[in-house]
Structure 1
């Protein structure tokens, strides 16, 4: 790392995905903007409106009119949080970028600590959750199960991972250059490597509004990202095949032994159970294979991750 006498400086881009966050946008613009201004950090705030159904885009335009450092991107429809993050990174002009939630559950004051670590030479600064804030026990259990499985599948420690992180320009360029459509930012930003350190934080209460994540949307988000980043579910096909084979072998040997001793099995209960077991395993395997084939189909169509319908702001005159 660099010594204190040779700390690097540069422009900071802050990427904030926003979906139905009309109340949070002005708060985030003021809180983060004032924080970075007082710290003397040259910066820009990039809000990405992910097809919101409320007045989020109007709030972004008003924030851009009040603050020259604020820029806005509006999608033509909802493309998802991952697409919004990558759109913001693609538009960022800073020497390093921070990604955080628009609702301020990621504490903005940690940005200063991340930026300081970047000045010392770190290229990726991961925000690590030490607590998940207020959420239902079911949500907590589901999240821990998902990240435990993902950590085992990817051999990356994702147990406390979050989207809150700082990336050096080199890391940003690598991520933006990746062509995969179903990109999982939280895992890819760890997978690319580079010199990485961590900053711990506690999830804060929402600054305004209600969470837009339902159990159904979280489940869909988890399944999509697991399939996008890992082939581990495909191994379930092999495991189920081996289990069914072993069960069939045991039952076959037992039936043969009964036949030799003149004690043939009565009825069809064993046969019916065996058929149900094999049939269920086959359906599960076909479902997993079908899901991955669908993802392959989406990739080979080579459609863009997102479509930008409009933009605003960027009147500070800065160019990279």
Structure 2
């Protein structure tokens, strides 16, 4: 399909979902075709260890609009989303999960909202969540509360299920950081948006790839990427400790002069424990930011592609570059090298 004819790209990051992948893709494609006939479906295999890639290849025989990208290893959902966004060619891009927890019946509504209202982002927010443990819900509430207080981004009920206009995708592509948090990045970009509520359905099959450790890591990366308040908190704790130390010193000197000082180690031990705990916590916060800086400075790619389902990937890339050059030529913003490569 000519890139100029693609209206909507749908990106689905997948990991070890061979059990239900074929059924999920057929269901999703059915709803996409209700809204548009000019689309592409991009499935990003995030280093699956089961038969996901084989199932994806078989599914492509039944779904000609399907294109698969296989990453060389498991880079995480955020990096898989980056791969999908950087390969999408549609004028609008929809991101959703492949386990049907994001209801595909909302796809026609999302496209209709984008067409009729002219909004740049159609955000699908969670009205009712699927069955979750009390600890998970409490952790989610604390995390989004911290993001709202520290980074001024209200992400309560937010999800990765959304439609982005081509202008938003191009603006997102200008954000080169390696530590990515897709929900926060799209919220930070701004743009006119509208919301659609949905109920999170149970997984169609398989097990979730998220566990407590990965969720904590995602939360830490999100906080580090979007706010420097923890660093300021370290300074504030230091100032408070300094003031308390002065007050305690004055009290100790007074009690010594008055002859009422009590002999013992309890106070000293408690102070040492408190101060050491604060010092270690402060070092840990600083370490998170230094680690983030280290990852950015290394400049490694966000992901590595090992395979693609389309055979003419080189021709596809050439066509994409020619399309970009043609747009630059029409707008008068092309460079000398672009002029030399344009074929009119």
TM (norm. structure 2) is 0.86
Contact 1:184 1:225 in 2 (8 A): yes
Q: Indicate which of 82, 91, 96 corresponds to 1:95.
A: 91
1:26-62 alpha-carbon deviations (Å, 9 max, x no partner): 1221011111223344211110000111111111111
1:298 corresponds to = 295
SS of the residue corresponding to residue 159 of structure 1 reads: coil
Q: Which residue of 2 aligns with 1:55?
A: 51
Q: Which has the higher contact order (CA 8 A, sep 6+)?
A: 1
Per the alignment, residue 115 of structure 1 pairs with: 111
Instruction: Please state how far the C-alpha of 1:168 moved relative to its aligned partner.
Output: 0.1
Q: What are the Cα deviations for residues 193-223 of structure 1, in whole angstroms up to 9, with x where unaligned?
A: 1111111111011111121211122112211
Specify the alignment match of 2:72 in structure 1: 76
SS in 2 for 1:158: coil
Q: Which residue of 2 aligns with 1:161?
A: 158
* C-alpha distance in structure 2 between counterparts of 1:50 and 1:142, whole Å: 26
2:12 match: 16
Of Structure 1 and Structure 2, the greater helix share is in 2
Matched, 1:227 2:228: no
Within 2, Cα distance between the matches of 1:150 and 1:111? 28
Contact 2:16–2:52 at 8 Å: present in 1 too?
yes
Moved more, 223-232 or 180-189: 223-232
2:201 to 188, 204, 209: 204
Counterpart CA distance in 1 for 2:26 and 2:268 is 69
Q: Of 31, 35, 41, which aligns to 1:35?
A: 31
State the 1:83 CA deviation.
Answer: 0.6
- Show the counterpart of 1:244: 241
Q: Please tell me whether the aligned partners of residues 31 and 107 of structure 2 are also in contact (alpha carbons under 8 angstroms).
A: no
User: Is the contact between residue 68 and residue 314 of structure 1 (CA under 8 Å) also seen in structure 2?
Assistant: no
Quote the offset at 1:156 in angstroms: 1.4
- Provide the alpha-carbon RMSD of the alignment: 1.8
Whole-angstrom distance in 2 between the partners of 1:24 and 1:191: 34
CA shift in 2, pair 1:131/1:242, >3 Å: farther
Match status 1:271 vs 2:268: yes
Q: 1:157 to 1:41 in 2, by over 3 A?
A: farther
Q: How many residues align?
A: 311
Unaligned runs of 5+ in 1: 1-8
2:34 touches 2:108 (CA, 8 Å); kept in 1? no
Structure 1, 230-239 or 174-183: larger mean CA deviation:
230-239
1:314: how far off?
8.3
Query: Quick check: 2:125–2:157 contact (8 Å CA) kept in 1?
Result: yes
Taking structure 1 as reference, are residues 305 and 40 closer, same or farther at Cα in structure 2, changes over 3 Å only?
A: closer
Q: Distance in 1 between matches of 2:203 and 2:25?
A: 15
The whole-number CA distance in structure 1 between the counterparts of 2:186 and 2:61 is 32
CA distance in structure 2 between the aligned counterparts of 1:171 and 1:314, rounded to whole angstroms: 29
Distance in 1, Cα, partners of 2:76 & 2:210? 12
Tell me, what secondary structure is at the counterpart of 1:84? helix
